[in-house]
Structure 1
Amino acid sequence: MSLTAARDRLLALPHLALGALPTPVDEAPRLRDAIGMGARLVIKRDDALPFGFGGNKVRKLGLVAARAQRDGVDTLITCGGVQSNHCRATAATAARLGMACHIVANGTPPDRLTGNALLDALLGAHVHYVAQRTDRNPAMDALAGRLRAEGRTPLVIPLGASTPLGGLGLALGIGEVVRQGIVPDYIIHATSSGGTQAGLIAGCALFEVPTRIIGISADDTVDEIRHVVTSICHGMEGLLELPAGALGAESRFEADDAFIGEGYGIPTEASREAQALAARTEAIFLDHWYTAKAMAGLIAYARAGRFKDGQTVMFWHTGGQVGLFA
């Protein structure tokens, strides 16, 4: 199948309109000037999606939930940290569709619900706590088995909805940007479970744009992210009936793990600066877990002269501002 035919197949996938699309693309001239950047700086505002406090996961869940509805699913099961944006978006999706939602969260039950954990409870999600990240998948599988034995029809959604189908929500996002009349030279974004980066890479291939996609890691090493992203892209090729390697994931993949600091969700001096600059110049709010570290990467690149005058750099804001209230 050609890329054109695969693009048509992508556009024909069943999709639930969970949020108002397209999201805005905002110019960021004051932030650009504050960091001494000569290139044009724009921000893709997935944080502004109105559904369930928004974020990139809404794009993924639009495709995943459409298939779940088609398959008669009545319960969504997923996993993440106690303050997971993805879990909150999944709980919101389940509530909208009249489904039950079960969340397997690694960490200690909080004494007081705040941020995403508070929203999970308000949305009616059932939260099951496990000690470590490695406990999440076995717990989800066991829970799904128990629910099936009770006559339910559950769907297990992996971490971040980072599956080939979910990631294609971000491929559709690239088409959206093209229709908005922008072809960036770079897209900088936060990367972790890999679905967003895989989708953006796939979208650039399918819509035939030369944009470089650079993921700034929130937690994992570049090699770990590369493995996950390329695997998801290969799965997308299968869904779209493309030959192996047609999306060019191996050659298009770029990531940077230099901005993680001491670990996931732990602020760094650079991420605190990025958070303050974005708020004070553009009234853009970034979270400690993902977007502040991604913006720290963009700022470091700008100060190092990586972006040239006349280029367009897009920061893909993946949401997560609820985490500021955790």
Structure 2
Amino acid sequence: MNLAKFPRRGYVKNPTPIEAAPAFSEALGGKVNIFIKRDDLLPGCAGGNKTRKLDFCIADAIEKGADTIITCGAVQSNHARLTLSWAVKEGMDCHLVLEERVKGSYKPEASGNNFLFQLMGVKSIDVVPGGSDMMGEMEKLAAKLEAEGKKPYIIPGGASNTIGATGYVACAEETLQQLFEMGLKIDHMVVPSGSAGTHAGVVVGMHGCNANIPVSGVNVSRPKDVQEGIVHKLAVETAERVGVKGGIPSEAVECFDSYVGPGYSLPTDSMVEAVKLLASTEGILLDPVYSGKAMAGLVDLVRKGHFPEGSNVLFLHTGGSPALYAYLDTFRD
């Protein structure tokens, strides 16, 4: 794979750390060694995985002459926060379409990412009901802005198209180089699986490099069969874009859906436990929507003996900690 042929802005200057989590591993029984890929430390306002995707997406927008970015997400969207932050950095306008997936959950005065949207000077926020055609809503907004003389560029939710997923193909390559330099053999990798771009990109990168490291996604919203289909479709399309020969076998995509709980963004006891446990043992903050539920899945899989004793398991930390501050009541005893 020659990713240098694709335009990008260079937002990712250095590899994010891979850290051992010995106290956390010991708290889970000490039979599996947990390592964490710290993509929560990526550049961009408050960090997070979307910076890798936006590195490529915003480069494409600029190449196409755009002066305005439109994107969408849930009401506390980490993707919306980071898209806005990079648009600000590039001197571009940014408009957000937010989906109220849980009725009544949007509060303009809320903390977390809602506060940061205002702080960074978002140009507009349109809130639409859960289940809305988000691409259709963004296209309507784009048409309105075009009529006003703007040149908008739409980035899909999570920047989860083949352009954005290329950022996580690059992350897989980066990770493998780090493991080589560290002399560290990883037996399994666990990632949050939501809009699918991160999961699909990692799968493509690992498969394309013949890494032989299984990648499991922990779902944050959809049932297993639906999510695996979405991830696999995007992985196949991304593999074609970056030049991975032979496609991506369906068995390369594995998802676990037992940790979603009552629905997307709705707290679960296992998520709360995972967030508190990692914070109290390693001083690392997870978020309640993505990385917290994904870590809850990893915790349960370790406890159930899913990974052989002595395994080295790498968790991809996708960031999102600002959302914690919109969930204070969930974490206070």
Q: Is this a same-fold pair by TM over 0.5?
A: yes
* Residue of structure 2 in register with 1:102 after alignment: 95
Cα deviation for residue 308 of structure 1 reads: 2.1
* Residue of structure 1 in register with 2:56 after alignment: 63
The amino acid of 1:97's aligned partner reads: E
* Residue of structure 2 in register with 1:214 after alignment: 216
- Spell out the pairing of 1:147-166 with structure 2 (5 A cutoff): 147-166=145-164
The amino acid of 2:168's aligned partner reads: L
* SS of alignment partner, residue 251 of structure 1: helix
Confirm whether residue 248 of structure 1 aligns to residue 241 of structure 2. Answer: no
Confirm whether residue 90 of structure 1 aligns to residue 90 of structure 2. Answer: no
Contact residue 205 and residue 247 of structure 1 kept, 8 A: no
Between the aligned partners of 1:184 and 1:58, the Cα distance in structure 2 is: 24
* Residue of structure 2 in register with 1:318 after alignment: 318
Contact residue 161 and residue 167 of structure 1 kept, 8 A: yes
What count of residue pairs does the alignment treat as equivalent? 317
Kindly provide the CA deviation profile for residues 18-37 of structure 1, in whole angstroms up to 9, marking residues without a partner as x: 24421011100000000014
Cα deviation for residue 247 of structure 1 reads: 3.7
Between the aligned partners of 1:121 and 1:280, the Cα distance in structure 2 is: 31
Cα deviation for residue 249 of structure 1 reads: 4.2
Kindly provide the CA deviation profile for residues 234-291 of structure 1, in whole angstroms up to 9, marking residues without a partner as x: 2213323455xx2424120000000111111122121111111101100111111111
Between the aligned partners of 1:19 and 1:133, the Cα distance in structure 2 is: 33
Confirm whether residue 227 of structure 1 aligns to residue 253 of structure 2. Answer: no
Confirm whether residue 139 of structure 1 aligns to residue 137 of structure 2. Answer: yes
* SS of alignment partner, residue 53 of structure 1: coil
Q: Which moved more, 1:200-209 or 1:223-232?
A: 223-232
Contact residue 39 and residue 312 of structure 1 kept, 8 A: yes
| Structure 2: unaligned runs, 5 residues or longer | 327-333
* SS of alignment partner, residue 205 of structure 1: helix
Q: Which moved more, 1:152-161 or 1:125-134?
A: 125-134
Kindly provide the CA deviation profile for residues 135-172 of structure 1, in whole angstroms up to 9, marking residues without a partner as x: 42221110111122222211111110000110110110
- Spell out the pairing of 1:1-326 with structure 2 (5 A cutoff): 7-8=1-2, 10-107=3-100, 109-125=106-122, 126-181=124-179, 182-242=184-244, 246-326=246-326
Question: Under a length normalisation based on structure 2, what TM-score does the superposition of the two structures give?
Answer: 0.91
The amino acid of 1:274's aligned partner reads: A
Q: Which moved more, 1:264-273 or 1:98-107?
A: 264-273
Contact residue 56 and residue 318 of structure 1 kept, 8 A: yes
Kindly provide the CA deviation profile for residues 77-100 of structure 1, in whole angstroms up to 9, marking residues without a partner as x: 111111000000100111011111
| Structure 1: unaligned runs, 5 residues or longer | 1-6
Q: Which moved more, 1:260-269 or 1:229-238?
A: 229-238
Contact residue 164 and residue 235 of structure 1 kept, 8 A: yes
Contact residue 43 and residue 51 of structure 2 kept, 8 A: no
Q: In 2 relative to 1, CA 209–47 (structure 1 residues): closer, same or farther, beyond 3 Å?
A: same
Between the aligned partners of 1:284 and 1:38, the Cα distance in structure 2 is: 21
Contact residue 84 and residue 117 of structure 2 kept, 8 A: yes
Between the aligned partners of 1:189 and 1:112, the Cα distance in structure 2 is: 31
Contact residue 160 and residue 198 of structure 2 kept, 8 A: yes
Runs ≥4 residues deviating over 4 A: none
Between the aligned partners of 1:290 and 1:270, the Cα distance in structure 2 is: 13
* SS of alignment partner, residue 134 of structure 1: coil
The amino acid of 2:254's aligned partner reads: E
* SS of alignment partner, residue 52 of structure 1: coil
Cα deviation for residue 75 of structure 1 reads: 0.8
Q: In 2 relative to 1, CA 200–156 (structure 1 residues): closer, same or farther, beyond 3 Å?
A: same
Question: Under a length normalisation based on structure 1, what TM-score does the superposition of the two structures give?
Answer: 0.93
Kindly provide the CA deviation profile for residues 116-145 of structure 1, in whole angstroms up to 9, marking residues without a partner as x: 111111222121111223242221110111
The amino acid of 2:150's aligned partner reads: R
